[in-house]
Structure 1
Amino acid sequence: MSTLTESAPGFRPGRTLPLRVEAVRQLKRRRTQVMGLVLALLPFVLVAAFAIGGTPEGNPQRGPSLMQTATESGANFAATCLFVSAGFLLVVPVALFCGDTVASEASWSSLRYLLAAPVPRARLLWSKLAVALAFSAAAMVLLPLVALVVGTAAYGWGPLELPTGGGLAAGDAAWRLTVVVGYVFASQLVTAGLAFWLSTKTDAPLGAVGGAVGLTIVGNVLDAVTALGDWRNALPAHWQFAWVDALQPRPEWGGMLQGTAVSVTYALVLFALAFRAFTRKDIVS
């Protein structure tokens, strides 16, 4: 079937399942809209929490933190929102968008009809992966962007006050926060790879999403086991907050470079496993 179709006059595999069509399908889904609403509401929840409980006091043993400077300016509030959400909340949309790709189509029994359209398997997977990563990146941008607007309205526009002292002008702060968002997205590629690979192995979307979130949590737990020593350097979770080094008077890039290398390496392996599993998957079963 595939050979006959691909040799048919006028057939172009690259024009099947355009990214725009897949993006519109995913955008109209209820879980996409709900996730966007949750991320957009988080800054308002934090503003209300600070209004009720005040700004947290510092811990003398751990030193100053971003939480102490959260209400200094809109830029500080945006950085704080990233700090409190990067460890878990931002994991959820990445796992959801990437884990619900193939598995949801299989659970609805629509996957076989997509391939019979015909859409080549590699093209189908690339389209879904590209859209899932694009929506994941949008989630990373949405939260700090809304937080910046809400924080500026609540606390005013000003420099990014650093916990260690000093501050960054608005232009420099915007550039640093852009770097931070990019690194947070890179660090979440492991979760994306896990969810995407599991999505090709199961017909249960919740299994793929929950499995990716669960394995990410396991990585965080293992990183907390100090007895592992240098073995923790191979864990993506070990580098998830390396972006804090960018919010220093003189930013340090070593930790972020190592964290990006670890995350991208794991992600590429997992994406390759996903493509291998999907090319051998019995869609009819």
Structure 2
Amino acid sequence: MSSTVDTEADRVRPAGADTAPGYRPGRTLPLLVEARRQWKRRRTMVMAIILGALPFVLIAAFAIGGTPSERGSGSNNRINLMDTATASGANFAATCLFVSAGFLLIIPVALFCGDTVASEANWASLRYLLAAPVPRARLLWSKLAVALAFSLAAMVLLPLVALAAGTAAYGWGPLELPTGGALAASAAVPRIALVVAYLFVSQLVTAALAFWLSTKTDAPLGAVGGAVGLTIVGNVLDAVTALGSWREFLPAHWQFAWVDALQPQLEWGGMVKGAAISVTYALILFALAFRGFSRKDIVS
């Protein structure tokens, strides 16, 4: 006998088919319930602590090693984010994003999106969720929405803590720009918000890759590690200059396009191209995840 879980919610019911009184497929596995389940996971708490602690680690490092200006790192007369990290709270927040965007912010996205379905399979609870019955598409939508919400929260947490801690440590002032000049503090906050929004969109590829892998394996670490590993491979390929213009089709090629937001005159070109590439890949991978899971034999 097949051990596949095949609920009535997975199939299109003919008109007049018997259903349990009050049963509504769209109301199964509410987002709030799923969010509470994910919030109570230990990995959520650990990731929040790591991201919240990073700004304080950097402040301590600057206190011990001296500020960049004291070390003369800007002797080439070219302003960069690290050189001006201690100029103001806004500069410190931008620096925290700069040092974490290439790798650290990838981890929570891969973790929340790659662990969500695979962990249920690993705990042998996935088939019971479907037997509840929760329609497969509904289960994926609920888990994906919560995973993306937690990923966005992780990306917002870091600059928020950095802005508050940086303001307490270095004061509230204008954002000194990498290309020279400065933005008033009132204008700097919206620019930093735009940077966070772009980082989230650019990480949709990693989120979709992790989510697709999560529907293909019962090993959460395999899905998370696979997404992180392939993202790193993309970064390595982007460094191969011999690929020429082909690199523009790699999401990694546009991962730092958000620096264009830290210009006296806001530049949209790179961010628009990067967002388009990221969303395109993400939609394909999300579609593959839903299509594959709808036909998958669930035995765990």
Smaller-chain TM-score bracket: over 0.9
| Cα distance between partner residues in 1 of 2:216 and 2:271 | 32
Cα distance, 1:59 vs structure 2: 7.1
1:70-219 aligned within 5 A: 70-219=85-234
Cα separation, partners in 2 of 1:167 and 1:282, compared to 1, 3 Å:
same
Aligned twin of 1:18: 30
**Structure 2 spans left out of the alignment, 5+ residues:** 1-6
Please tell me the residue identity of whatever aligns with 2:44. T
Cα distance, 1:50 vs structure 2: 1.0
1:242 to 257, 260, 264: 257
Cα distance, 1:162 vs structure 2: 1.2
Aligned twin of 1:43: 55
Provide TM-score, normalisation by structure 1. Answer: 0.97
- Deviation string, structure 1 residues 236-269 (Cα, Å, up to 9, x no partner): 0000000001101111100000000000000000
2:64 to 30, 52, 59: 52
Provide TM-score, normalisation by structure 2. Answer: 0.92
- Alpha carbons 1:115, 1:121 under 8 Å: kept: yes
Cα distance, 1:165 vs structure 2: 1.9
1:267 to 282, 286, 292: 282
- Deviation string, structure 1 residues 47-71 (Cα, Å, up to 9, x no partner): 011111223313749x431000100
Please tell me the residue identity of whatever aligns with 1:110. S
Cα distance, 1:10 vs structure 2: 2.4
- Alpha carbons 1:43, 1:146 under 8 Å: kept: yes
- With 241-250 and 49-58 compared, the bigger mean Cα shift is at 49-58
Cα separation, partners in 2 of 1:158 and 1:277, compared to 1, 3 Å:
same
- Alpha carbons 1:103, 1:203 under 8 Å: kept: yes
* Secondary structure, counterpart of 1:101 in structure 2: helix
Cα distance, 1:170 vs structure 2: 1.7
| Cα distance between partner residues in 2 of 1:136 and 1:190 | 13
Structure holding more helix per residue = 1
Cα separation, partners in 2 of 1:145 and 1:64, compared to 1, 3 Å:
same
- Deviation string, structure 1 residues 156-186 (Cα, Å, up to 9, x no partner): 0111111222211122111101100000001
Residue 65 in 1 paired to residue 50 in 2?
no
**Structure 1 spans left out of the alignment, 5+ residues:** none
Residue 281 in 1 paired to residue 293 in 2?
no
Residue 34 in 1 paired to residue 49 in 2?
no
1:224-239 aligned within 5 A: 224-239=239-254
Aligned twin of 2:4: none
Cα distance, 1:280 vs structure 2: 1.2
Cα separation, partners in 2 of 1:59 and 1:228, compared to 1, 3 Å:
farther
- Alpha carbons 1:55, 1:67 under 8 Å: kept: no
- Alpha carbons 2:113, 2:148 under 8 Å: kept: yes
- Alpha carbons 1:220, 1:238 under 8 Å: kept: yes
* Secondary structure, counterpart of 1:11 in structure 2: coil
- Alpha carbons 2:89, 2:168 under 8 Å: kept: yes
| Cα distance between partner residues in 1 of 2:75 and 2:258 | 21
| Cα distance between partner residues in 2 of 1:53 and 1:183 | 32
* Secondary structure, counterpart of 2:82 in structure 1: helix
